[in-house]
Amino acid sequence: MGRKSMKESRQKEIIVACYKLAKKEGLENTSIAKIAQSMAINPSLIIHYFQTREELIYGLIDYMLGKYKAIFTVPKKTSKSSKEVLLEVIDHLFSKKWNTLFDDSLFYGCFALTFRDANIKTKYKVVLDELRKSLAELIEACVKEGSMKVENPYDLADTTFMILDGAYFYVNLLKDTKQMNEKLGEFKRKVLALLPVIEEELH
């Protein structure tokens, strides 16, 4: 138990170092040797925990997608209604608060690997499906609470993420932060238009 815990802790430390380096220099310029140098350790130590760079990249993607899911983390014990929780999540989704969770350029850099690696494609698919399911469950809770009327919560969650995916792909092409925020606001309003019952409370 102790050895396993130590191994997982060491692997996490290496993955975090990999994440920081890849965020700074790009995934394509991130090597085991450079990661070891940034950690002031011998490359052989990294290879001891990750036999290949590919294995390390898998670990990096798991770590990054885990951060991606954190946007849905809400306290188990909360005085907020289901509607208030949903509104907070939607607000977080369409804001650059994402930057506090993970780096967009690295996310898309890793996403590009889905076209060449079936394992990575599966990892992304599983997480994106989980995100849709999480949002659908929040919407469903609002329906049960009586604060919303939605026939198919999953369809609404799926549509929200289609808008969200397109939104972030586009806003990352903009250089001005003000423009980014304005555009994200526009996209968020498109989602709010799908929720006429609670639209007024979201402004």
| Domains along the chain with CATH numbers | 2-51 (1.10.10), 64-202 (1.10.357.10)
Q: pLDDT tens, 33-66? A: 999 999 999 999 999 999 999 999 999 999 988 8
Alpha-carbon span 17 to 35, nearest angstrom: 6
**Is the pLDDT confidence value at 3 over 80?**
no
CA nearest neighbour of 101 among 190, 19, 8: 19
For residues 185-192, give the mean pLDDT. 92
Band of pLDDT at residue 76, cut at 50, 70 and 90: low
Alpha-carbon span 151 to 165, nearest angstrom: 23
For residues 117-125, give the mean pLDDT. 93
DSSP string, the chain: -HHHHHHHHHHHHHHHHHHHHHHHH-GGG--HHHHHHHHTS-HHHHHHH-SSHHHHHHHHHHHHHHHHHGGG---SS-SS-HHHHHHHHHHHHTSGGGGGT--HHHHHHHHGGGGT-HHHHHHHHHHHHHHHHHHHHHHHHHHHHTS---S-HHHHHHHHHHHHHHHHHHHTT---HHHHHHHHHHHHHHHHTT-TTTGGGG-
Q: pLDDT tens, 135-162? A: 999 999 999 999 988 889 999 999 999 9
Q: Residue 94 is which amino acid?
A: F
Global pTM reads 0.81
User: What pLDDT score does 202 carry?
Assistant: 45
